[in-house]
Amino acid sequence: MAQTLTLADRTHTTTLTREALLARPDVREITLDRDPVYGRAMTYRALPATALLKDLTVGADDYMQAKATDDFSVSIPAHLLGEAYIAIEPAATPWPKMPGVDKGTAGPFYLIWRAANPAAISSEYWSYHLAALTVTDSPTKRWPQLGVAAGAPDQVRHGLERFVSVCLACHRFDGAGEGTMGPDLGRPMNPAAWFQPAALKKFIRNPKSVRDWPDAKMPALSPESLTDSDIDAIVAWLEYKLLKH
C-alpha cells in the first residue's frame, strides 16, 4: 500500500511521505464525535486540506479527484475542501480496522470532514486509503453527455449531482466517467428503459433485494449516504437522459 500522498494541479505534481506530513508544525489532533466510516468517535492527527493544497492552482468551479490506493476515485467540488482535513495514520500506532469491510484500516491517508452543514458532505467524500488529490474540471465539463439543459427541473439537476458523487465511481454513463466496476448506465441501454421505476429504486437501495448471485458486487446504499428522495432524483435524471439525448 502506498505510504505517500500525491497532490497535483494541471501543471505540478508533489509527492509527500507520511513522515514528512506528520512532522509538519500545523498537524493537529481532530476528534470526530461520529466518524461515518468507523461508526464511532475517532481521534486523528490531521492537516487542514487547504494548508496542503495552498500551492495548487484551483479554479472556483474545479473539482478535486480523490483517488484511493485501489484506484477507486471520487470527484469532490474543490470549494468544499475548506472543511476537510487529511488524517495521517502513524506507522507506529495504526488505526483500527474499518468495521464491516475486509479492507484493513482507513490509512495511510484519509479525508475527514468537519462541516458546518454535514448534509452537504456526501458519505463518499470520506475518502479512505487516500493516495492522490488531483485538480480536475467539473465532471459535467469533462463529460458534457452527463449534463442537463438550463431549464431542467431541480429534481433532475439534483439527480445528476447525486449520480456524479455516488454512482460515477463505479458506473460510466454514455462513456462518461472512469469507473470500471459496473456497467455503463447510458449505453447500450439506460436502465430506465427496461427497469420499472419502483424496481429500479429498490435495486439502487439494495441490489440484492431485486436479484442476487454470489459474485454480485454493487453494495446496498444506506439512507445516510443516499436518501429516498436522492434515489427518486437519480431515477428522474436517468429518465430525463432517456428522453432528451
Of residues 42 and 226, the one with the C-beta less far from ligand HEC: 226
Quick check: 183 and 171 in contact, CB under 8 A? yes
Amino acid at 64: M
Minimum Å distance from CB 74 to ligand HEC?
9
Q: How far is the CB of 196 from ligand HEC (least distance, A)?
A: 12
Residues that bind ligand HEC (CB under 6 A): 166-167, 169-171, 181-183, 185, 191, 203-204, 207, 216-219, 221, 226, 234
| CB 12 to ligand HEC: min, Å | 31
Task: Return the ∠ at Cα 152 (arms to 239 and 240), rounded to 5°.
Answer: 10
Q: How far apart are CA 145 and CA 130, in angstroms?
A: 28
Q: What are phi and psi of 184, to 5 degrees?
A: -65, 130
Distance of closest approach, residue 36 Cβ to ligand HEC, in angstroms: 15
Within 8 A by CB and 6+ apart from 130, the residues are 5, 66, 67, 68, 69, 86, 108, 109, 110, 111
- Amino acid in the structure at residue 154: D
Rounded-to-integer distance, Cα 38 and Cα 242, Å? 38
Closer Cβ to ligand HEC, 20 or 181, answer by number: 181
CB of 221 to ligand HEC, least distance (A): 6
Nearer to ligand HEC, 156 or 170 (CB): 170
Residue closer to ligand HEC, measured from CB, 66 or 166 = 166
Instruction: Give the nearest distance from C-beta 126 to ligand HEC in angstroms.
Output: 14
**Cβ contacts of residue 199 below 8 Å, gap of 6+?**
210
Nearer to ligand HEC, 122 or 134 (CB): 122
Task: Please give the distance of CA 173 from its chain centroid, rounded to a whole number.
Answer: 16
Indicate the residue among 52 and 221 with the shorter CB distance to ligand HEC: 221
